Amino acid sequence: MFVTQLSCWACGLHYSPDTLLNLCTCGKPLRVDYDLAAAGRAVSPALLTGRPRNLWRYRELLPLPDGYEIPTLGEGGTPLLPADALGEELGMEPGCLFIKDEALNPTGSFKARGMAVAVPMAKHLGATRLAVPSAGNAGGALAAYAALAGLEAFIFMPSDVPAANRLECEIAGAQLTLVDGLITDCAHIVQQRKEAEGWFDMSTLREPYRVEGKKTMGYEIAEQMGWTLPDVILYPTGGGTGLVGMWKAFDEMEQMGWIDSRRPRMISVQAAGCAPIERAFASKASHATMFENAHTVAAGLRVPRAIGDFIMLDILRKSGGSAIAIEDAELMDEAYHLGAATGICACPEGGACLAALTKLIANGHVETDETVVLFNTGTGVKYAEAFAAYPRPQL
């Protein structure tokens, strides 16, 4: 293991990596730091050849200690699919558009990556009861990986969460509580009860290790593109762990000499009914305020306030990227379009990314000869209610 310390994303205060922690004393998220010079001597792109196609192929850049038996459901290693036919519809040059399809993770979404690393780390550091507020997919992922680790899971979801997400938690034996409200209301319950109940809080960016699992999306994109990075990445943003994680991966790879200093323009895609990052970016704010009366059928985007807002906004600006918000009717239409054009079972969040790309090409913010990676973060099968509410548009 090459972890050296935990450090605060905001104030820089350092902590021992051998202690079970949530946030810094200043209330901001903690980052996992590595001895990247040593890690770079232990592993290289050439040494990855022949390793299993899952996120553990980057074992040296992940926090579980040496000798720890890795529990896995086969997470990571998702395809980066060329989408030339869809790109042609958008006026893009051949070989420019790719879809990173996270639906093929064990629990049907990218959330499996974060929990695959965070749950065994929590267990290693002494946690036995894990709790999380979830808009849907994170809860299902926690339930699955807690079951794999033999830990108790306590999950709080909005009462109108898709039925597939509820069923996923129940099948895996988690204790599920439905809450009349949003994910922020669920988070409030976890915060109020965690000390009395002995829960370790697994919320987005309220513990340091979900980011480590999510950052492997950045490693995979680089490897799948021959150790180069695309010009643009469109990523649906709720809590933002994946956006933060990929940017962290790019920095790590550069320090190890795997890639150069060039970075993609990172595009945060949100729903118009819940767009705190888009609103903060447009107003040049360094933090996002609570988005009141948040609503969207894209459940993963219904996060009215994110603790990592300042990290995301900094990444968007450093990369020369932007934030964009999409109406529900449009993102649902584009989810159908994405599926029909590629065969991918697209989720509403993936549809939002396609709608965003269409707008960005139209307004000249993305050129038709630029290389673009568009994320489909989960399977559309989990969103039966949303697709029922927005039937397929007439062709």
The predicted-structure confidence for 362-387, as pLDDT tens digits, reads as follows 999 999 999 999 999 999 999 999 99
- Using a pLDDT cut of 70, give the percent of the chain over it: 100
Contact 118, 207 (CB under 8 A): yes
Q: Which three-class secondary structure string do you get for the chain?
A: CCEEEEEECCCCCEECCCCCCCCCCCCCCEEEEECHHHHHHHCCHHHHCCCCCCHHHHHHHCCCCCCCCCCCCCCCCCCEEECHHHHHHCCCCCCCEEEEEHHHCCCCECHHHHHHHHHHHHHHCCCCEEEEECCCHHHHHHHHHHHHHCCEEEEEEECCCCHHHHHHHHHCCCEEEEECCCHHHHHHHHHHHHHHHCCEECCCCCCCCHHHHHCHHHHHHHHHCCCCCCCEEEEECCCCHHHHHHHHHHHHHHHHCCCCCCCCEEEEEEECCECHHHHHHHCCCCCCCCCCCCCCCCHHHCCCCCCCHHHHHHHHHHCCCEEEEECHHHHHHHHHHHHHHHCCCECHHHHHHHHHHHHHHHCCCCCCCCCEEEEECEEHHHHHHHHHHCCCCCC
Interval 12-68: pLDDT, tens = 999 999 999 999 999 999 999 999 999 999 999 999 999 999 999 999 999 999 888
31 pairs with which residues across the strands?
A: 7
Tokens of 316: 């968007």
Report residue 201 as tokens.
């809080």
Query: For 300, what's the count of Cα atoms within 13 Å in the CB-facing half-sphere?
Result: 31
| 345, two tokens | 């079972």
Band the pLDDT of 135: cuts 50, 70, 90: confident
User: What confidence tier does 136 reach under pLDDT thresholds 50, 70, 90?
Assistant: confident
Q: Each residue of 320-339: pLDDT tens digit? A: 999 999 999 999 999 999 99
> For position 394, what pLDDT does the model report?
73
Distance, in Å, from the CA atom of 244 to the CA atom of 238, rounded to the nearest integer, reads 12
Q: In order of start, what are the domains of the chain with their CATH numbers?
A: 80-107+211-389 (3.40.50.1100)
Task: Read off the pLDDT of residues 174-224 as tens digits, 9 standing for 90 and up.
Answer: 999 999 999 999 999 999 999 999 999 999 999 999 999 999 999 999 999
Looking at residue 1, what is its pLDDT? 78
pLDDT band at 395 (very low <50, low <70, confident <90, very high): low
Mean pLDDT of the residues in the chain: 96
**Sequence-ordered alpha helix ranges (H) in 43-136:** 84-89, 111-124
Which residues lie below 8 Å from residue 178, measured CB to CB, with a gap of 6+?
156, 157, 158, 159, 161, 166
Rg (CA), the chain: 19
Q: Does the pLDDT of residue 234 top 90, yes or no?
A: yes
Give the mean model confidence (pLDDT) for residues 230-241.
96
CA distance 16 to 372: 39
pLDDT at 224: 98
Gap between the Cα atoms of 196 and 176, Å rounded: 18
- Tell me, what's the pLDDT at 177? 97
Average of pLDDT values for 344-367?
98
Supply angle C-alpha 161, 115, 258, rounded to 5: 125
Q: How many CB atoms lie within 10 A of CB 395?
A: 5
pLDDT at 69 exceeding the cut of 90: no
Mean pLDDT of 111-115: 98
**pTM for this model (two decimals):** 0.96
**Helix (H), strand (E) at residue 257:** none
